[in-house]
Structure 1
Amino acid sequence: MLFIILLILVFGYCYLLDLNAALIKERSYLFPILSCSIVVGLILFVMFKAHNLDSNSLENIILISGIGVVMYMWLAIRSFSKRPRYIKIQKLMSHKWQENDIEDELQVISVKIVSGNVRGLMCMMMAALYLMVFEYNMTIEESYEVIDFLNVCYFFTVIAIVIYIIIDIVQYIRYNIFGMYILRPLTIFLAFILLNIAAS
C-alpha cells in the first residue's frame, strides 16, 4: 500500500507542477499550498511507516524514492534552463507553420519560461523529500546493491554528457546560442552522487 502511494506521488505530482507554478506566478496560492501540503504529508507518512516493512517492500520504496530524486532533479534543471526554450522558439519561427499553430506553441513555451523558476524550486523541494525517504529507509543490505547499480549509472551518464556536449556545439553553430543542454546529464550525475552518499 505504501509503495502504491509513493508511486502515485512520484509520477502523479509532476502533472500538477505546471498548474501550481502558474498559479503561484499569478499570486494565487491556495491550491498550490494545499496540494503541496498534502503531498509533503503523504511523503513523510510513507517515509516513517516504510521502515517497518519487509525487505521486498522496503526495496521497492527505496527504488521509487531514488527514481523520484533523479526525475525531479531532471525536471528542475529543465525548468531552470531557459536557453533551450529560446532555441525552440527560434526553430518555431523558422518553420512555415500555420500562424495559429505557431502562436499556440509559443504561448505554451512562454508560460513555461515565465513560471520556470517557480517550477524548478518546487521540483528541487520534491527531490529533497525523496532523498530523505531514500536515506531514511536505506539498509546495509540494500546499500551494497544500490552502490553497485549507481556505478553502472555513472558510466552511462558520462556517455550522455559527451552526447549532450555535441548537441550543445551543434546548436551553437546553427542558432548562435549555447543551449546549456550539458547541464541536464550533469544534474543527473549529481543526483547519482547524492544517492551514492545517502546509500553509503
Structure 2
Amino acid sequence: MPRSLPAHDPHRLDRILDARTRQLAMRQASDAATGPAPIPVLACVLGNETYGLPLAAIAQVVPATPLTPTPGAPPAMLGLLGRNGQVFIVLDLALALGAAAQASQHTGHLLLLRHGPRRFALRVDRATGAIDALPAEAPAEAAPHRAVTGHALAPSGALLGLIDLERLLRPYLAPTATVAPSLSSTNGSVTP
C-alpha cells in the first residue's frame, strides 16, 4: 500500500521561517543577558589600589628578592633579576604608573612577564590571584595613567584598573638601531 504524501501546505515555509526567527531572537536575548565576556587577569595590589594585568602575559609570580642594581637607571627600574638562565629588568609598578612606591623593593611579589626579546618583571605589593573580571565603567573621578586603559570588576566587587603592558613598558624599551651593511660594487664584498 503506497503512502500518501501530505497535502501541499502553502504556509508551511512561513511557519518554519517564523520558528527559526524566534529561535534566533531567543538566542540573541540569552547572549545579551549574559553580558560582556569576562577578562582573564592577574589581580595585584599597590597600596590601596588594585590593578589587573593580562593573565596570558604573566609567566610566573615569585616572592621579591634582592636585585642587582643598575646605576643611572630611571627611578622605576629597580634592578636586574637572574632567574632560570634569563635576566629580567625589574620595574616597580607603582613608580612606572607615576605613583609613589608603597613598599621596599625587597617585599611583595615579582611578576615575570612574557615580553619579546627583552624580559621584564614588575614588583607589586601583592599578587592576589588569577580572576575573570567583568568590564566596567571608570568612576568619574578616575584620572588613569596612560597605561591604565580601562576598568573591570573583580568577583569580589573590587574595581580594577586594567593595565596595557605595551604602553607601560614602551618608555623602558631602548630604541633598536638597525645598521644595514653596504655592498661594495667593486669587489662584491660586504662592508660594515
TM-score w.r.t. the length of structure 1 is 0.20
TM-score w.r.t. the length of structure 2 is 0.21
Q: Which has the higher helix share?
A: 1
Structure possessing the higher relative contact order (Cα contacts under 8 Å, 6 or more residues apart): 1
Rg bigger for which structure? 2
Q: Which has the higher strand share?
A: 2
